[in-house]
């Protein structure tokens, strides 16, 4: 039987076009999912960014990022120190839910983030993303707790803080090893030269972006700096008017700039969500004009600089005082990436996607935020403009200041928490007290 190719050709052409169109659609769908970068610094204060009023150094790249997206002036983290804050970010849940709300993990700690917790990396990986953790982990250094067992395809960095490098803990007679540096599960170095940590993490992020596959990527870049001890590479030493601390921040800004430059060169900047923030308030830097610092539940301990940019979608140059926190990032990225969260997972954040896309037309709902201290106690609660402090473990000297009294502040007019108006607002004090005790009892 002879086949007349001239007669078959039109049908064959239609068949090929339909299939080609089908393949193209699938590829476009994959490409339309935005890449995601969370640029997470360690102990960088509210006032340690140019666009937030920094003094003695410049942060032009992060300031430009803010100009191209949304800058948040009421951006919070759920803890005053490293480990619980990171747990909250990666789970979208208050750290108490994962039993990581007290202090931080040490090189002698046996615990970590439970593998039963559903992490942001697991969520995005199931949603079709490649996932990478670069930098400081600090959610457990035993293998079962490490990034490769928590949804990350790649890990390049250290398991805990840089001050734990070869540190002797006198109270328990424990000598920690030189700071371990890993690529995935392989220990590739012990006691790395810390002046090059920021540079190495930046180069790794750039390499991963340039060598990416066809999938969208999620990079969680958790810098060690500006946690003490402070280190800057020779190229940045002496660059600022604010000493080594300013040098360190300027190098972090350079890091962000180099990554943004790479995204632009690769033609993917427009479709990359870039989130910048810090894990808690400053130990050495500035939280101006806020009261308090790292390890304290005053505003300076948990209100941090926050920027979210997505040039293809988020309008430019917006500054908002809407209340948000890192707990909101998980459900927000789930929505944007069309990724699923198990129904049984109790999330504490909300989806911000509608607000990000139309900040001038969207008002976020009023909701409470709970401030857990370094010792694990619930010390304060915020609802709308009101913040109530119930107790104080750090940032209050009983010997000189007397016993801590319940304190209420109107943050709309008293961002520095100077004027206690509890006596004039008994109903608000009662309402917030009941709210805090009810939540802490249920969680």
Return the CATH number at 328: 3.40.720.10
CATH no. for residue 413? 3.30.1120.10
Whole-angstrom distance, CA of residue 93 vs CA of residue 75 = 16
Per-residue pLDDT of the chain (443 residues; tens, 9 = 90+): 444 444 444 443 334 333 433 333 333 345 589 999 999 999 999 999 999 999 999 999 999 999 999 999 999 999 999 999 999 999 999 999 999 999 999 999 999 999 999 999 999 999 999 999 999 999 999 999 999 999 999 999 999 999 999 999 999 999 999 999 999 999 999 999 999 999 999 999 999 999 999 999 999 999 999 999 999 999 999 999 999 999 999 999 999 999 999 999 999 999 999 999 999 999 999 999 999 999 999 999 999 999 999 998 999 999 999 999 999 999 999 999 999 999 999 999 999 999 999 999 999 999 999 999 999 999 999 999 999 999 999 999 888 889 999 999 999 999 999 999 999 999 999 999 999 999 999 88
Whole-angstrom distance, CA of residue 184 vs CA of residue 133 = 9
User: Does one domain contain both 268 and 412?
Assistant: no
User: Does one domain contain both 127 and 82?
Assistant: yes
Are the CB atoms for 119 and 112 separated by under 8 Å? no
Task: Give pLDDT, residue 109.
Answer: 98
User: Does one domain contain both 37 and 92?
Assistant: yes
In a domain, 372, yes or no: no
User: Does one domain contain both 345 and 387?
Assistant: no
How many domains is the chain built from?
A: 2
User: Does one domain contain both 353 and 303?
Assistant: yes
Give the domain-ending residue among 357, 389, 412: 357
In a domain, 2, yes or no: no
Q: Which residues contact 424 (CB under 8 A, 6 or more apart)?
A: none
Going by the DSSP 8-state scheme, the letter that residue 136 receives in this structure is E
User: Does one domain contain both 394 and 300?
Assistant: no
Residue 103's domain spans which residues? 33-357
Q: Which residues are catalytic?
A: 82, 138
Residues, the chain, total?
443
Give the domain-ending residue among 290, 324, 357: 357
176-215: b or e for each residue (b if 16 or more CB lie within 10 Å)?
Answer: beebbbbeeeeeeeeebebbebbbbbbebbbebbeebeeb
In a domain, 428, yes or no: yes
Task: Give pLDDT, residue 27.
Answer: 33
Whole-angstrom distance, CA of residue 272 vs CA of residue 208 = 14
In a domain, 273, yes or no: yes
Task: Give pLDDT, residue 20.
Answer: 37
In a domain, 417, yes or no: yes
In a domain, 282, yes or no: yes
In a domain, 257, yes or no: yes
pTM of the model: 0.93
């Amino acid at each position: 039987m002879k086949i007349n190719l001239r007669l078959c050709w039109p049908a064959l052409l239609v068949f090929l076009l339909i299939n080609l169109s089908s393949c193209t659609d699938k590829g476009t769908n994959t490409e339309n999912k935005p890449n995601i970068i969370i640029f997470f610094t360690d102990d960088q204060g509210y006032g340690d960014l140019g666009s937030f009023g920094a003094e003695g150094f410049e942060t032009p790249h992060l300031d430009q990022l803010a100009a191209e997206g949304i800058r948040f002036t009421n951006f919070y983290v759920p803890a005053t120190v490293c480990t619980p804050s990171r747990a909250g970010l990666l789970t979208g849940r208050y750290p108490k839910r994962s039993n990581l709300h007290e202090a931080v993990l040490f090189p002698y700690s046996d615990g970590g983030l439970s593998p039963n917790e559903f992490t942001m990396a697991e969520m995005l990986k199931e949603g079709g993303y490649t996932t990478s953790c670069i930098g400081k982990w600090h959610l457990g250094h035993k293998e079962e707790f490490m990034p490769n067992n928590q949804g990350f395809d790649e890990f390049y960095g250290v398991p805990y803080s840089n001050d734990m490098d070869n540190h002797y803990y006198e109270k328990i007679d424990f000598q920690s090893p030189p700071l371990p540096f890993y690529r995935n599960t392989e220990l590739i170095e012990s006691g790395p030269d810390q002046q090059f940590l920021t540079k190495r993490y930046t180069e790794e992020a750039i390499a991963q972006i340039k060598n990416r596959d066809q999938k969208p990527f999620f990079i969680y870049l958790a810098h060690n700096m500006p946690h003490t001890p402070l280190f800057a590479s020779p190229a940045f030493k002496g660059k600022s008017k604010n000493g080594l601390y300013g040098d360190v921040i300027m190098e972090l800004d350079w890091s962000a700039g180099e990554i943004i430059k790479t995204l632009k060169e690769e033609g993917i900047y427009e479709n990359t969500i870039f989130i910048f923030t810090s894990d808690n308030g400053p130990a050495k830097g500035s939280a101006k004009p806020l009261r308090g610092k790292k390890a304290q539940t005053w505003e300076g301990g948990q209100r941090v600089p926050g920027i979210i940019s997505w040039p293809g979608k988020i309008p430019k140059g917006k500054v908002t005082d809407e209340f948000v926190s890192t707990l909101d990032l998980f459900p927000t990225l789930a929505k944007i990436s069309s990724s699923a969260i198990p129904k049984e997972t109790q999330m504490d954040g909300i989806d911000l996607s509608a607000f990000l896309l139309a900040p001038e037309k969207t008002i976020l709902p009023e909701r409470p935020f709970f401030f857990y201290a370094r010792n694990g106690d619930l010390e304060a609660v915020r609802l709308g403009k009101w913040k109530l402090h119930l107790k104080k473990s750090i940032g209050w000297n009983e010997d000189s200041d007397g016993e801590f009294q319940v304190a209420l502040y109107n943050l709309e007019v008293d961002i520095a928490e100077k004027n206690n108006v509890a006596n004039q607002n008994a109903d608000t004090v009662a309402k917030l007290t009941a709210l805090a005790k009810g939540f802490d009892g249920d969680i």
